[in-house]
Amino acid sequence: MTTATATKREVTPKLTCIITGKSRLTNQAYLESKADKAGSVEEYLRHYISRPALKLLRSGKSVQETRQTLGVTDYNQSVSTELLQRAIAVNGKHRSE
């Protein structure tokens, strides 16, 4: 029996929303494009908000109201005001309001 050499596979990056706790797969090119705005890939990963949650937050809903509207019942991680403001700033298209 010959042993096949194990090849190293790159792990597909995952984005996890700090509001809903839901994750989605992404790719390195997308992360690198977002890193410019966030400062680094790690910073973007730490501040990721899903599009539906971001839309509700920008409309004026609180974190709790956003979770309730999106039907999130199993994710209760607290989000500080500073973290939320930074996350809104680095996600989606920048809007001057």
**In total, how many domains does the chain have?**
1
Range of the domain at 66: 14-90
Q: Alpha-carbon Rg of the chain, whole angstroms?
A: 17
Task: Label residue 96 by pLDDT band (50, 70, 90).
Answer: very low
Residue 72: inside a domain: yes
Quick: pLDDT tens for 24-63.
999 999 999 998 889 999 999 999 999 999 999 999 999 9
Over the chain, what is the mean pLDDT? 88
**pTM of the shown model:** 0.81
- CA 80 → CA 9, 10, 18, 49, 62, distances in Å? 36, 33, 11, 14, 12
Per-residue pLDDT for 67 more than 50?
Answer: yes
Per-residue pLDDT for 14 more than 80?
Answer: yes
Residue 6: inside a domain: no
Residue 29: inside a domain: yes
